[in-house]
Amino acid sequence: MANGLLGELQQLAGGLTVGQVVLFILAAGFVLLVVDYTRVLLLRRKMPPGPFPLPIIGNIHLLPERKPWIYFEQLAKEYNSPVITFWMGRRPNVWLNDAQSASDLFDKRATTFSSRPRMVVFGELAFGQSSLVSMYYGDRFRVHRKLTHMGIGLQQVRGYQQLQSDENKVVLYDLLTDSENYVAHLERYAASVVSIIGFGRRISTVTDPIITEVIFLMQRAAEHNVPGNSFPMIMESFPILAKFPRWMAPWMKNMGKPRAKNFFYALAEEAAHSDEGKDNYAKKLFELAPKYNLSEMELSTLSGSLFGAGSDTSSSTLITFLLACCAFPGVLPKAWEELDRVVGSHRSPNFEDEPNLPYVKAFAKEVLRWRSVAIIGGQPHAPIQDEVYKGWLIPKNTWTQGNVWAIHRNEENFPDPDRFQPERFLKDSPHHNPFPNERGYMTFGWGRRVCAGQALAEQGTFISVARLLWAFNIRKALDELGNEIPVDIFDYTDGLNIRPNPFKCRITPRNAEIKATIEREGKEALDNLSIYNGETKFRISTYHLENQ
């Protein structure tokens, strides 16, 4: 076959020998390579500083296997520039490593920086333009954003305070008797809240399949969705690798429409057509599907995105809270004093207490700042036209990402950034520093691409932090000799959404009166939530990847 092809090329080349044809092909390839590399070098001169790119591979060989956000933070310091360019193959990737540049581009220029670049792994090979996460900015994006706000927008989440409060009281009740399994209880709580909102059904046990399967799936997706030089993310730098047929490309194994598509559609359809009369987000989506011409895939991603916006991320935030309490016990007494003065022992804190709990509110904000879950701000932004920032060119469709790790560790905004210090968020404190936005952190992204679940997450973080501080003394665990077991504040997972790796801690009620209150309120909460009890017949493990 090869000889036949060379023969045809030889005829087309007017009787050249096979060797001459081969040399011609090599020469043509070399010329194309030189032309393309010249384009890269000329473009590099106009863009923000960064490592010198090699032909074809760019800077991929420099990329570390783990936690690349730390490397990009170091590059920003090395080049003395918060904005840097890193070449992923022939594609430039711009990283914003301080709050000001992220605010200037993503917030103040949201009109042009609210789209997405071409995304292969989590776009074309997954949900494509049917998912808000990977969708280009435009009319369809606005429809999906409107529908998402209908479920978990700022006005709607206030109506979820009661169920959020009740589920939180159940967590305290569970931790009284089973504090060692705190991760499972926090995951159950976070997943149950979004399950009630989305599907009208609570998650009552830590073994419910939505926890054991869906959160695992989300964590696995987060692990793969990190800029890297290995599969599958290497396909973002070399999209041609995604064109190979699966039978001859082992890296394409298990790539295709995720099983979550059918699973979340089945859950939504089940909830929408339930005869129990419970109001839920899925029911609203199915009612509006004809008006907005929603496909099955869109119904799946809209309902399933609730778990991405509010389950794994929320539970990870609370695990970080526990780690901070163990690592910095000195911050607890001030919170206890405020809670005892404002709330007392005979009831737990509620949402109405928030204005009177400034230190506890600052504590919750510092949790969101100290170790933000979405460590690189979620998916990349891309300008819809060429943009110039401080004299640098950022070409149209360039991958542009905010490095939240570097932003929240910037010494100008947060001196001694690894120290957990709630006073940073008290405006009358000497530890408070100006920040480009009112919240004082960039945990949930920017502009029109800000996390849709931000209001729900912030609301849940406050009440959870307030209740856990009120209820328990959270300390380092003890070994067999009674010595405290150290915790490592840098021991986190490597995925796009980070959380502490497993650690042990002691969670004990602060006094007998508080313990009695936890028990009483926990039982009342279970009774209130019983209207949402039920079980789905669907399991994500029953759906297989659609590889055909």
Per the annotation, where are the binding residues? 451
Q: How far apart are CA 108 and CA 112, in angstroms?
A: 10
Dig out the tokens for 399 from the structure.
């991958």
* CB 456 within 8 Å of CB 308: no
DSSP 3-state assignment of 88? Answer: strand
Q: How far apart are CA 252 and CA 242, in angstroms?
A: 7
Task: From 319, 312, 314, select the one nearest 492 (Cα to Cα).
Answer: 319
Ranges assigned E (strand) in 427-541: 472-476, 505-509
Task: From 465, 376, 370, 461, select the one nearest 414 (Cα to Cα).
Answer: 370
Q: How far is CA 405 from the centre of its chain?
A: 13
Q: How far is CA 164 from the centre of its chain?
A: 21
DSSP string, 291-360: HHT--HHHHHHHHHHHHHHHTHHHHHHHHHHHHHHHH-GGGHHHHHHHHHHHT-SSS---GGGGGG-HHH
Q: How far apart are CA 311 and CA 187, in angstroms?
A: 7
> To which residue do tokens 């044809």 refer?
21
| All residues at 6 or more sequence positions from 121 whose CB lies less than 8 Å from its CB, including other chains | 224, 225, 232, 233, 235, 236, 242, 255
Instruction: Find the farthest-apart pair of alpha carbons in the chain and give their distance in angstroms, rounded.
Output: 97
Q: How far apart are CA 34 and CA 40, in angstroms?
A: 10
| All residues at 6 or more sequence positions from 80 whose CB lies less than 8 Å from its CB, including other chains | none
- Residue 478 has what DSSP assignment? B
Q: In 10 A of CB 355, how many CB atoms?
A: 9
Q: Strands 91-96 and 83-88: what pairing?
A: antiparallel
- Residues at the annotated binding site for heme? 451
Q: At what angle do helices 454-471 and 182-199 cross, to 10 degrees?
A: 140
Cα dihedral sign for 23, 25, 30, 31? positive
Q: How far apart are CA 324 and CA 365, in angstroms?
A: 12
244-250 LR contacts (CB < 8 Å, sep 24+): 246/547
* CB 199 within 8 Å of CB 280: yes
> To which residue do tokens 């759906």 refer?
543
| All residues at 6 or more sequence positions from 410 whose CB lies less than 8 Å from its CB, including other chains | 97, 98, 99, 417
